[in-house]
Structure 1
């Protein structure tokens, strides 16, 4: 892969993270802590170097759908089927700092803005997107466009990528106007991820993976496309040290897709669906979370 003798991608640690399915995971910005969440209604913080548990967050009444660390502060947030978003202090997570209520349906995803400390965004199963002010503890904006997952463009935070059904919408963060509607998936998009520069955004549905280049004006092109041939792709992340490599979580396997050469390599990884992937650009670790109740680290 990648014409490099040094390239390797091997499992370095594994842990049974839960008594039930794990649905989400994310690294803290310094790469030292990994957060996971899922069907058992708990979010767990793990020391990334040992995968020993640090803290368990138990306030949600239904399964957790997403967990995200703030890129700028020592905070994390969780979203849940219980229609709430909770914000926690990462270093002293005994009780949540805020509980945001207002969604009328299950909250499916959330994200922190990369440089507006005060802004969290979340979306629910009815397609409603809400902006929350951490400082005020209140909802500052309501609009529409995302059901499955949403992610802010890293670094710049100019755009919000939001998936609903088989369409990826690119929303202007300031105006909430839809800048671009990216179409091509035939099945519902399950997950979205940006590369670390914010120049590329990838979308994954069961049948295909597409990578789009950030454009000026209306020029957002699909620059790479991979057909999944029944492999049930579900999650993805850009490799921390090989930017032309996309790591895709499928049913039981991880697919390493070299986009430059359009070659893939499959690795047996889990005994169930790989529901979420996370990457630390600081440590170079990739985490995979699965319905088989385990979380694994790769490097």
Structure 2
């Protein structure tokens, strides 16, 4: 517990967005009234916005580097782009044939990539979302996850249903390397991108990106790991299975903390953009706010179904939640 600095007792409240601006959402269906704010020690966490997609499960979401656009996707096979300034939305065409499993923005760019169960990866531009920029359609199995390198922004990688990791050059849109050990999710270490974390079955592997050598193996989950996320500095990694979330240290290679799901079921997680010792965990219909410094957690009612993905923007301090209830919500 003492590995994390405690949250500031007098930290500034995160004020909720009081005005109801849902009337400018255009054709987007309004969500039910927002959930009341939850607070502890001056810290406030409240729903500040919501979009309802067309009655289909949302599986993934991600903010652009500047925090101005939130992308989400899922079973309706298109990407919804939510402008954080105007609160208006745009969509890409339904070029994917099956569920989109992942959407990720290229760092410091309006470009984004999607992975799909239809065995393809597609590149888009949020500035011109009406058409696909590039497509890789010849993969032999469903693509489950992808991520861009934080510094070498012409490099991205994805993992598939066959436990294979492929590194891709964005300029040539061709594979440069193939590895093993990733199925559920792949995530580059933030900022420097020295390591790649990959989840497969009940194990999380850490690979050296340059040498492709597996440097660490995180074991200890009794159930399949379905979600991973790095802290902002790339020093810690959180791994989520239905019954447990674990925090791993890259320095020691050990699990330093864990939280059981109790009567809930964990599905996703993200470190809070403003408070590094606060992990936001997505459950069946609620969010768990876990203060790792004090090992205390708070449950917030959030959705009507599984919270499949979480994203955050350090620029705006916003957290986004995507759910199988067809909605995407903003929290601050």
- Length-normalised TM-score, structure 1: 0.96
**Which residue pairs with 1:287 in the alignment?**
320
**Which residue pairs with 1:186 in the alignment?**
222
Secondary structure of 2:306 counterpart:
strand
- Higher CA-based Rg: 2
Is the CA contact (8 Å cut-off) linking 2:92 and 2:131 kept in structure 1?
no
**Which residue pairs with 1:223 in the alignment?**
256
Q: Distance in 1 between matches of 2:86 and 2:290?
A: 28
TM superposition shift of 1:50: 4.7
Is the CA contact (8 Å cut-off) linking 1:44 and 1:57 kept in structure 2?
no
> 1 or 2, which has the higher strand percentage?
1
Is the CA contact (8 Å cut-off) linking 2:62 and 2:70 kept in structure 1?
yes
Q: Distance in 2 between matches of 1:8 and 1:67?
A: 28
**Which residue pairs with 1:53 in the alignment?**
89
Of the three residues 121, 130, 141, the one matched with 2:157 is 121
TM superposition shift of 1:82: 0.5
Is the CA contact (8 Å cut-off) linking 1:72 and 1:114 kept in structure 2?
no
Secondary structure of 1:271 counterpart:
coil
Q: Distance in 1 between matches of 2:242 and 2:145?
A: 18
**Which residue pairs with 2:205 in the alignment?**
169
Secondary structure of 2:43 counterpart:
coil
Secondary structure of 1:295 counterpart:
strand
Aligned residues: 296
- Residue-by-residue CA offset, 1:253-291 (whole Å, 9 max, x unaligned): 000000011100000000000000000000000000000
Is the CA contact (8 Å cut-off) linking 1:26 and 1:69 kept in structure 2?
yes
TM superposition shift of 1:197: 1.1
Q: Distance in 2 between matches of 1:267 and 1:157?
A: 33
Root-mean-square deviation (CA, aligned residues, Å) is 1.3
**Which residue pairs with 1:266 in the alignment?**
299
Of the three residues 16, 28, 31, the one matched with 2:67 is 31
TM superposition shift of 1:14: 1.2
TM superposition shift of 1:192: 0.6
Unaligned runs of 5+ in 1: none
Q: Distance in 1 between matches of 2:57 and 2:108?
A: 29
Secondary structure of 1:270 counterpart:
coil
- Length-normalised TM-score, structure 2: 0.87
- Residue-by-residue CA offset, 1:138-176 (whole Å, 9 max, x unaligned): 111111110001100010100000000110000111121
Secondary structure of 1:93 counterpart:
coil
Q: Distance in 2 between matches of 1:183 and 1:190?
A: 14
**Which residue pairs with 2:134 in the alignment?**
98
- Residue-by-residue CA offset, 1:79-132 (whole Å, 9 max, x unaligned): 000111111122112222221244321100000000102101000011011011
**Which residue pairs with 1:150 in the alignment?**
186
Is the CA contact (8 Å cut-off) linking 1:100 and 1:137 kept in structure 2?
yes
Unaligned runs of 5+ in 2: 1-5, 11-40
- Residue-by-residue CA offset, 1:3-26 (whole Å, 9 max, x unaligned): 344310000011102320000000
